[in-house]
Each structure stands twice: as structure tokens, then as C-alpha cells.
Structure 1
Amino acid sequence: MRSERKRTKKRKWLKITFITLSVILLLVVGYLFMLYKSLTNTVANMHEPVRDGQISEKRDQEINFKNKDPFSILLLGVDQRAGDKGRSDTIIVMTVNPKKQSIEMVSIPRDTRTEIIGRGFEDKINHAYAFGGVEMSINTIENFLDIPIDYFVQVNMEGFKEIVDAVGGVTVDNDLEFSYDGHSFPKGKITLNGEEALAYSRMRKADPRGDFGRQIRQRQIIEGVIKEGASLETLVNYGTIFEALSDNVKTNLTFDQMVAVQANYRAAAKSINQHQVNGSGKRINGIYYYIVPEEEKLTIQNLLKDHLELK
């Protein structure tokens, strides 16, 4: 009898354990399903095709992610305020080559004087966005660098504070003590909320490096968001994060393409090389421009063409 009671009690606990594990499994599966559904919906809202989905004229054929073809991506940080279409104050071109296990990252100063494709005259490169949005920016930067721009990611810097707050703030290593827009930023590692991060990334005039210094700070904020967004702690706040991304990020990458890049191009992140376009300031008709010599432009063009394995 005692042995039978023990077996009955054991079966009871096994049943309870099985039911408990089943409930936990269902909750996990349900959570992951909601996460996946929210992610796919967010990417769908972020998706913005350009050129009617056609590839660049500087490409002979489409990128094959399974073959790990090198590709380029344009990062645009747009300072878009109420009542203003905005300008692309941050312009970064990245070429990604998983076979060489490297990424080349070129920051283009916003005041760079170049031909605005579609307008027929020379102006500051960041004005291309104000004149014709993402598509004119892509066409102008393609002409400037003489390479195909395959994909783009546009971030609204005004709304970027929502993304920073959604991931719980970001930590950066500040190399210049300054104050801006009512906020003080001491040297060293500092943690910023959304409002502080926006002010930190906007300051330019008090930095002896000018726009170059601002570009460094903007890259720090973007890297901080990526780092925080990838941590497990932020998963519980995925709804807020996805909403912030949906409202402030646009890209022509599809969900499937993002998955393919994640699966096939991780090796490229082993080496990230950053480059600055060298030139000098000059006033033309009273307006300040950044003039890039032809030999410097050719050097950057050849670097990127080689990395993209273009003939």
C-alpha cells in the first residue's frame, strides 16, 4: 500500500511538473511569436523602396546574399524638425565584404561641394536630400563616389531620442567637455537619455573639429543604441523599441534581406575601418563649402571599388 501511495504521489508530481513546463513553453512560444510578429510589422512600416525597386545603374546584376556578394549601404542621419523637410547632416557610406571579413566606412562632410544629380548644378551634398529626398541623395552620392549604392538606412535624428529612451539610454566615451542646449557633457564615460543624446550628437560649433567631431558623436550614439538594443534586458521593452524604430527609421531592405545579411555577413564585422574624406573649407559667393580635391576623391573611390570587387 505504501509503495502504491509513493507511485501515485510521484505520478502526481510528474503530472504537475509536465503541466508547469507546458505552460512555460506556451508562454515562451507566445512571447516569441509576438516578438516575431511585431518585428515583421515594424520592418514593413520601415520599408521604403527607391528607384521603383530597380538596382543601381552602376550594377550589372542584383546582389546575391547567399553567394555573399559585397554590397554598399548609405546611412543618412536626417535632422528633421517640425515644419522642415530636413537635410542629411550625417552621411556615411559602408561597403560590406564578408569574404574579406571587413567593412569600410566613409564619412562624407555635409558641406561637401558636388554636383546635385537631378538639379544640374553644384551645391552642398546634404542639400540633395532637401531637394529630392532619399533618391536624389543616393544618385548624388553614387556620382560623387562612382560606386553603386545598393541599400540605405535613414534615421530621423529629431526622433532618435525616442529610440535612445526605448533602449534605456546609451553610454558613450566623451573626449571633449562641453555644454549645449542646456546640457553639460564632462569628459569620460557618460550615460545619456534621449534628450541628452540628441543634444550631444548635434553640437558642432564649439568643437575644434567642427562637423568631423559631430559625426564622431553621432556614430557613438548609433553604436550605443545597437549595443543596448542587442542586450537581453531590452527584450522586455521590445514594443516600445519597435514603435520607436517604426516611427524614425526608413530603409529599402526587406525583412528577408535583413535575415540573409545576418546569416551570411557576420564575418564582415570582424574589421571595421573608418575613413574621412579629406579636403579644405572655401567660401564661394559668401557660402561656405568643403572642397574635396580630385586626387582625394579618386583615392576613396578606388578604395571602395576594390572592397566591392567591382571591375
Structure 2
Amino acid sequence: MQSRKELKKQKKTKKKWKYLWIIIGVLLVGLLIYGLYFYNKLNDTVDTMYTPLDSDGEKEDEIKDRLSNKDTINVLLLGVDEREGDRGRSDTMMFLSLNPDTEEMLMFSIPRDTRVNIPGRGEDKINHAYAFGGAELSVQTVEEFLDTTIHFYSKVNMEGLKDGVDALGGVTINNERAFSYEGHDFPEGEITLNGDAALSYARERKQDSRGDLGRNDRQQKIIDAIIQEGMSFESFTKVDSILTTVGDNVETNLQMNEMRKLFLDYRGTRDKTIREEIQGSGQTIGNGWYYVVPNEEQQRIQSVVEEHMNKK
């Protein structure tokens, strides 16, 4: 027969467990509510951003097959400087190719003055494609230039880049050349940038001996840092401000189920980035200045893309 002391101890232990289960229950309910809120907020943001292209229907089956088989997916990022009453031009055109088999991401920028054939418009600077026909014509032009398929695109208002970096709490990059621009100092080495500084860092090119190519490198660093920071656990605590900023400044033809597949099956590609640079030279043709890419170089970059996509 148990003593009164033992019975009292058992009762106390049961009471502790009861409180513990209540606390666990409250936490689970809280997590469920937060999860539902997060999912609904994400759905609302994706709906706001979703801007399909006319050509999406032609690629629908290929995209479904690629996502289902975890094949390489190509993405075009457009950084656009838009002002009221003016569609603007794509100051930034960045090609990303995500290969989940090798867990590698191929990344390179297409210089904005690159002389290409713009479908229906003839030879012109590649950044004019956006001014002529928005994201639709930009995608078509890049597909022809690289002889590949662009499966998804994202258009980012460059002013919104500032808000996005601030929503993440800043980004950290390794800066290779000290310079100052728009009131910001950028010393060599590892530096942390807020939104305003990141936008200035991504825009400067006059002081860079490599001109647009140097700016492209810096833009890639910012995009890399945003991807890394956005995937971190700390970013989940800032979900409200991040989703609000993204919804206000991004357009894409990605739908919710496709985003989920990319996040689950392609996130490993962020760990290894393969960088390329399109080689060319500046030339004055007629009354315009262009970045002219020789046929051999165009064929080389096309081969790099094809090999990356088929690599196992």
C-alpha cells in the first residue's frame, strides 16, 4: 500500500504532465494557426504576382514533365526601372539554369546593350525588347539568342530591390573593389548592405573599368545574397514584410504549385553557382553604341547552356 507521501508525489507529477501537455497543445494550435496564416498570405502574394505570358500555353506540357522528372529549369530575371507613364527598359537581364541532378545553378547576365535580333523588330539592343513588348518579347528574344527555352520569368522593379533587401534585414556580400557611389562607401572585403546601399551597389558602372560587365557581377552578388538570406531560418520570422514587398514589386508566371516544386526539389542548386560571362566588344553602328557578341561566342554560350541542362 502506497504512503500518503508517495500519493502526493504522484499527484504532483501528474499535475506537471497535465500542464506540460496543455503548453504543448497551445504551441501546436499556435503553429497551426500561423501555418494557415502563412499559407494564405503566400497564396495571396502569389496571386498578386502571377502574370502569365501568351506563350505559356505552348510550354505547359514541357514544364509539367520537367518539374515531374526533376529536369533542369531555366529562369529569366528582369530588373526593370519603371516610371509612371513609361514601361521602361530592362536594365538587368539575368539567366539562371537550375540543375537538381548536379545541384548546380548556372548564372550569367546578358549585357543590356547586346546587339541581337528582336523578333518583329530586327537588330537592336536587347534591353529594348522590354520597351517594345514587355516580358513576353524579352523572353522570346533571350530564347532566340541562347537557343533554349525560358520556362519561367520574374520581373522585378529595381526600386523594389531596396525594399526587398530591407525586408530581409540586409544582405552580406564579398566586395572585390572599393568605391563610393550615391553617398555610400563600399570598402573591399565582406560588407553588409541595407536596401538603399544594395541598390546603389547594383547600379554603379561609370567608375568600373569593366563598365556594364562589372555591374553585372555586382548584381549577381546581390541576387546570390538575397537567395541565401531568403532561404535562411531567420527569414521566416520576417514573412509578413517579405511577402508584402515581393507582392508589390514582382511579376512572374510561376504558380503556387510550381513554386512549391522549385522550393522542394531545386533548392539544393543554390549551394553551387557556376558563373559565365558573355564576351564581346563595344562598337558604334549607325547612330548607336552596341555590345557586339561574335557568332563564335554566341555559339559557345549556347553550348554551355545545353551542356548544363543535360548534365547528370
Q: Same fold (TM over 0.5)?
A: yes
Q: Deviations over 1:164-188 (max 9, x none)?
A: 1101111121112222122222222
Among 86, 89, 99, the residue aligned to 2:88? 86
CA 1:55–1:272 in structure 2 vs 1: closer, same or farther (change >3 Å)?
Answer: farther
Moved more, 280-289 or 78-87: 78-87
Partner of 1:202: 203
CA contact 1:55–1:150 (8 Å) conserved in 2:
no
- How far apart, CA to CA, are the structure 2 residues paired with 1:70 and 1:232? 26
Distance 1:98 1:16, change over 3 A: closer
2:301 pairs with 1:300: yes
Q: Tell me, yes or no, if the aligned pair for 1:166 and 1:241 is still in contact at 8 Å.
A: yes
Task: Find the aligned partners of 2:134 and 2:149 in 1 and give their Cα distance.
Answer: 18
Q: Equivalent residue of 2:86, what SS?
A: coil
1:193 aligns with 2:221: no
Residue of structure 2 in register with 1:128 after alignment: 129
Aligned to 1:277: 278
Residues 63 and 151 of structure 2 are in contact (CA less than 8 Å); yes or no, is this contact kept in structure 1? Answer: no
Post-superposition offset of 1:264? 2.6
Amino acid at match of 1:94: L
Q: What displacement does 1:38 show?
A: 1.4
Q: Give the aligned partner of residue 107 of structure 1.
A: 109
Correspondence 1:55-204 to 2 at 5 A: 55-56=58-59, 63-119=65-121, 121-204=122-205
Which residue is 2:215 aligned to?
214
How much has 1:152 moved relative to structure 2?
Answer: 0.8
SS of the counterpart of 2:67?
Answer: coil
Distance (whole Å) between structure 1 residues aligned to residue 207 and residue 201 of structure 2 = 12
Q: Note the residue ranges of structure 1 that are not aligned, 5 or more in a row.
A: none
SS state at 1:69 partner: coil
Give SS of 2:174's match: strand
**For residue 26 of structure 2, what is the aligned residue in structure 1?**
23
- C-alpha distance in structure 2 between counterparts of 1:110 and 1:82, whole Å: 22
Native 8 Å contact 1:116 1:125 kept in 2: yes
Aligned-pair CA distance for 1:92: 1.6
> 2:113 is aligned with what amino acid?
D
Aligned residue number for residue 290 of structure 2: 289
Residues 20-66 of structure 1 show CA distances to partners (whole Å, capped at 9, x for unaligned) of 11111111222222122212221221211112531359x97854312
Partner of 2:9: 6
- Equivalenced residues, count: 308
Classify the secondary structure of the residue corresponding to 2:66.
coil
Greater fraction helix: 2
User: CA shift at 1:212, angstroms?
Assistant: 0.9
Aligned sequence identity (%): 44
Q: Go from structure 1 to structure 2 and tell me whether the alpha carbon gap of 1:199 and 1:82 turns closer, same or farther (over 3 Å shift).
A: farther
* Structure 2 residues not aligned, in runs of 5+: none
Q: Take 1:140 and 1:39, find their aligned partners in 2: how far apart are those partners?
A: 31
Following superposition, the deviation at residue 217 of structure 1 comes to 1.2
257-266 vs 149-158, which deviates more?
257-266
> Relative to structure 2, which stretch is displaced further, 206-215 or 147-156?
147-156
Q: Distance in 2 between matches of 1:173 and 1:279?
A: 26
- Partner Cα distance (1:45, 1:291) in 2: 38
Q: TM-score, normalised by structure 1?
A: 0.91
SS of structure 2 residue aligned to 1:147: coil
291-300 or 46-55: bigger deviation:
46-55
Q: Distance in 2 between matches of 1:112 and 1:267?
A: 31
Deviates more, 1:142-151 or 1:101-110: 101-110
| Match of residue 229 from structure 2 | 228
Contact 1:66 1:264 in 2 (8 A): no
Say if 2:114 and 2:126, in contact at 8 Å, map to a contact too: yes
**Paired AA for residue 9 in structure 1:** K
Q: Are the counterparts in 1 of residues 66 and 73 from structure 2 also a CA contact under 8 Å?
A: no
Distance 1:241 1:170 in 2: 14
3-state SS of 1:85 partner:
strand
Contact 1:204 1:211 in 2 (8 A): yes
* Cα-Cα RMSD: 2.2
Separation in structure 1 between the aligned mates of residue 100 and residue 279 of structure 2, nearest angstrom? 27
